[in-house]
Amino acid sequence: MRIVEFQHVKPGKGAAFVRTKLKNVETGQVVDKTFRAGEKVTEAVLEHHKMQYLYRDGDNYVFMDRDTYEQVAVPPDAVGELAQFLVENQELSVFIRNGKPVTMELPAAVNLAVAKAEQWLKGDTSSGATKPVTLQTGLVVQVPLFVEEGDTVRVDTRTGRYIERV
């Protein structure tokens, strides 16, 4: 299981507890679980590998281990929503359980090129105006009006939001 969300609750009466939303990394199932103070949890044994994303081969994503140069084909269910942030030659952490990649972790922010953006006219602005653009991976984000096609923008991989133009 991987922690998706958690909230520490300390009620006025009684012991503190933690409300969590957990995702099974093998099946993708999400469950809600509450842990009381002092409750023990067994930790899963995951191997951590630094890998580089190479290319997409049909349905699978091909990664290369940075230490052994071994190439691994990872199914789309292990990549999940992170696929919208993957660009060739990008480095990331892949977690393996029982010889099978189960989940991965990207850097907090990635730089992506703007593939498609609509033009805007001066005077169309109001404070904080934004427009949707399509990035090189197909991800659509809201950006300020001054961002144009061909620009590179930094996107937060946790929220999928625009951070800045690079």
What string of DSSP letters covers 15-48?
A: --EEEEEEE-TTT--EEEEEEETT---PPP--EE
Global pTM reads 0.71
Mean pLDDT rounded to a whole number for the chain: 87
Is the pLDDT confidence value at 42 over 70? Answer: yes
Is the pLDDT confidence value at 152 over 90? Answer: yes
Alpha-carbon distance of 152 to 48, in angstroms, equals: 30
Q: Which tokens sit at 80?
A: 């999940």
Give the CATH class of 109-165. Answer: mainly beta
Same fold, 47-105 and 109-165: yes
Question: Is the distance from CB of 1 to CB of 20 less than 8 angstroms?
Answer: no
Q: Where are the domains of the chain?
A: 2-36, 47-105, 109-165
In 66-151, at which residue ranges do the beta strands (DSSP E only) sit?
71-74, 91-97, 100-105, 109-117, 130-135, 140-144
Q: Which fold has domain 47-105?
A: OB fold (Dihydrolipoamide Acetyltransferase, E2P) (2.40.50)
pLDDT band per the 50, 70, 90 thresholds, residue 124 = low
Provide mean pLDDT across the span 102-113.
Answer: 88
What are the tens digits of pLDDT across the range 2-27?
888 899 999 888 889 999 999 887 77
Q: Which fold has domain 2-36?
A: SH3 type barrels. (2.30.30)
